[in-house]
Amino acid sequence: MSSNRSCGITAHSLMLALLAVAAACEMPGTGVASESEPTRTLTQALSGYEFQAEDTQALQDDPFANPGMLWVDQGQELWRDAGSADEPSCSSCHGESGDSMRGVAARYPAYDAETQSLLNIEGRINHCREKHQQQSPYAYESAELLALSAFVAHQSRGMPIDVFIDGPARTFFDSGQSYFYERRGQMNLACHHCHERNVGRMLRGDRLSQGQPTGYPAYRLEWQTLGSLHRRLRFCNVGVRAEPFSAGAPEYVNLELFLTWRARGLKVDAPAVRR
Amino acid sequence: MLKARISAPARARPGEIISIKTLISHPMETGNRRNSLGARIPRNILTEFVCLYNGRQAFRAELHPAIAANPFLAFHLRADASGTLEFRWTDQDGEVTTETRDLVVEP
In three-state secondary structure terms, A114 is coil
Mean pLDDT of B55-64: 97
Contact B70 A64 (CB under 8 A): no
| Long-range contacts from A83-92, C-beta under 8 angstroms, 24+ separation | A83/A133, A83/A135, A84/A135, A87/A133, A87/A134, A87/A135, A88/A132, A88/A133, A90/A128, A90/A148
Query: Are the CB atoms for B2 and B25 separated by under 8 Å?
Result: yes
Residues of A in contact with B21 (CB under 8 A): 64-65
Amino acid sitting at position A12: H
Q: How confident is the model at residue B34 (pLDDT cuts 50, 70, 90)?
A: very high
Mean pLDDT of chain A: 89
- Identity of the residue in B5, B7, B68 whose CB atom sits nearest the CB atom of A73: B5
Q: Taking an 8 Å Cβ-Cβ cutoff, which residues of chain B contact chain A? A: 3, 5, 7, 21, 23-25, 27-28, 68-70, 72
A-chain residues near B28 (CB < 8 A): 224
Chain A residue numbers touching B68 (CB-CB < 8 A): 221, 224
Asked if A66 contacts A60 with a C-beta cutoff of 8 angstroms, the reply is yes
Low-confidence ranges of chain A (pLDDT < 50): 1-11, 13, 16, 20-33
| Nearest residue to A176 (alpha-carbon basis) of A190, A155, A193, A156 | A190
Question: pLDDT digit string (tens) for A224-263?
Answer: 999 999 999 999 999 999 999 999 999 999 999 999 999 9
**Yes or no, beta carbons of B5 and A69 under 8 Å apart:** yes
> Which of A7, A90, A93, A236 is flagged as catalytic?
A236
* Averaged pLDDT, B83-98: 97
pLDDT of A35 reads 64
For residue B21, the distance in angstroms to the closest alpha carbon of chain A comes to 8
Cβ separation A65–B3 shorter than 8 A:
no
Residue A275 near residue A222, CB atoms below 8 Å: yes
Q: What is the pLDDT of residue A37?
A: 84
Q: Is the dihedral of CA B9, B83, B76, B26 positive or negative?
A: positive
Structure confidence at residue A87 (pLDDT): 84
Write out the residue range of the structural domain in which residue B45 sits.
Answer: 4-32+41-105
The residues, any chain, with a CB within 8 Å of residue A167's CB and separated by 6 or more, are A111
Q: Quick one: pLDDT at residue A85? A: 73
What is the average pLDDT score of chain B? Answer: 96
List beta partners, residue A219: A226, A273
* pTM: predicted TM-score of the whole model, two decimal places: 0.89
Decide if A7 is catalytic: no
CB within 8 Å: A73 and B69: no
**Residue B12 confidence (pLDDT) above 70:** yes
The count of structural domains within chain B is: 1
- For A66, which residue in chain B has the nearest alpha carbon? B23
pLDDT of residue A18: 54
Cα distance from B106 to chain A (closest Cα, Å)?
A: 26
Task: Give the pLDDT score at A224.
Answer: 94
CB B3 within 8 A of CB B24: yes
What residues in B contact A73, CB-CB < 8 Å?
Answer: 3, 5
Tell which of A60, A64, A225, A226 to mutate to test the B interface (max B CBs under 10 Å). Answer: A64
**B20: domain CATH number?**
2.60.40.10
Tell me which residue in B5, B28, B68 faces A64 most closely, judged by beta carbons.
B5
Please list, residue by residue across A164-191, b when 16 or more beta carbons sit within 10 angstroms of its beta carbon and e when fewer do. Answer: bbeeebbebbbbbbbbbbebebebebbb
B69: closest CA of chain A, how far (Å): 6
| Residue B15 CB coordination number (10 Å) | 10
The answer to whether the Cβ–Cβ distance between B25 and A69 falls below 8 Å is: no
* Chain A residues touching B70 at Cβ < 8 A: 67, 70, 224-225
Q: Residue A164 — left, alpha, or beta (φ > 0 → left; ψ -120 to 50 → alpha)?
A: beta
Subunit contact B3:A221, Cβ cutoff 8 A: no
* Cα–Cα distance, B41 to A154 (Å, whole number): 32
